[in-house]
Amino acid sequence: MIEGIHWNLSSPLAFALSILPILGLGLIVTIEATLLGFLIALVLGLVLALLRRSRSRFIAWPVGAVIEFLRDTPLLVQLYFLYFVLPKYGILLPAFLTGALALGVQYSAYLSEVYRAGLDAVRRGQIEAAIALNMTRARIYRDIVIPQAIPRIVPALGNYLVSMLKDTPILSVVTVMEMLGLAKIIGDRTFRYLIPLTIVGAIFLVLTMAATAGIRRLERSLPKTGIRMR
């Protein structure tokens, strides 16, 4: 029994059906962690990308170092660090938030590179025209550069979304009961691993295919020239 739900070992099919509700609870956690983690990565990644483009070396250089550090150290190290080290300094977060934060922070470093490539691809003449119209730097980014960069970066963002989804099982090491963690517990208690793990694999396959299809649709619906402004 887990979370008040009993399993039925009478037949493989009955077992599979009886553990589905348990794995369903894990699925919700998996999706929530991915969405929250990706939201953090989207926002923090943009902030990092913009800071790295700062004209001041005293901002751009340290931010570049932080991005490199986040990209070049394992997710598990960063997760353990947030989970075990931060509480020593009085920062106590629920395990789920710690996990989503770890995902979000590491992926923000990846996404900052995606943003950077997208921002660099906007033609120099666009920025010059905006300067000639006396727009402020903030306005140039908000209304000229970022709307034109978005269609170029959506495919890469989609890849990282799928990748993050597949990284969520790592949260089980800090007691977050997502899908794979629950499947492992079911296996430990029933000595039957094949069915729970197969189901989890199948659910991940469906999730990633759905996410990929969603991203393709979004890509096609975006005008190549940028987010439309009338």
Partner 1 sequence: MNDFSAVPATEPIRPIIRFDNVTKKFGDLTVLDHFDFSVTPGEKVSLIGPSGSGKSTVLRILMTLEPVQEGNIEIDGLNYHEQGGHGPFRASQKHLHEIRSRVGMVFQSFNLFPHMSVLRNVIEAPVAVLGLPRKEAVERALDLLDMVGLAGKRDSFPAQLSGGQQQRVAIARALAMRPRVLLFDEPTSALDPELVGEVLGVIGALAHEHDLTMLLVTHEMRFARDVSDRVCFFDKGRIVEQGPPSEIFSQPQEQRTQEFLRSFVD
Q: Give the footprint of partner 1 on this chain (CB under 8 A).
A: 55, 123, 125-126, 128-137, 139, 143-144, 147-148, 223, 225-230
Tell me the two tokens of residue 217.
């649709």
Rank residues 88 and 230 by Cβ distance to partner 1 and give the closer one: 230
Quote the distance between the C-alpha of residue 84 and its chain's center: 22
* 146 versus 165: smaller Cβ distance to partner 1: 146
Longest dimension (CA), the chain: 76
Q: CB nearer to partner 1: give 61 or 84.
A: 61
Residue partners of 111: CB distance under 8 A and separation at least 6? 41, 42, 45, 46, 49, 157, 160
Nearest distance from residue 146's CB to partner 1, in Å? 10
Q: Is the dihedral of CA 97, 100, 106, 112 positive or negative?
A: negative
- In the complex, the smallest distance separating the C-beta of residue 41 from partner 1, rounded to whole angstroms, is 24
Beta carbon of residue 112, minimum distance to partner 1 (angstroms, whole number)? 23
Residue 46 CB, shortest distance to partner 1, in Å, is 18
DSSP three-state, residue 62: helix
Residues recorded for the chain: 230
Measured from the CB atom, is 139 or 217 closer to partner 1? Answer: 139
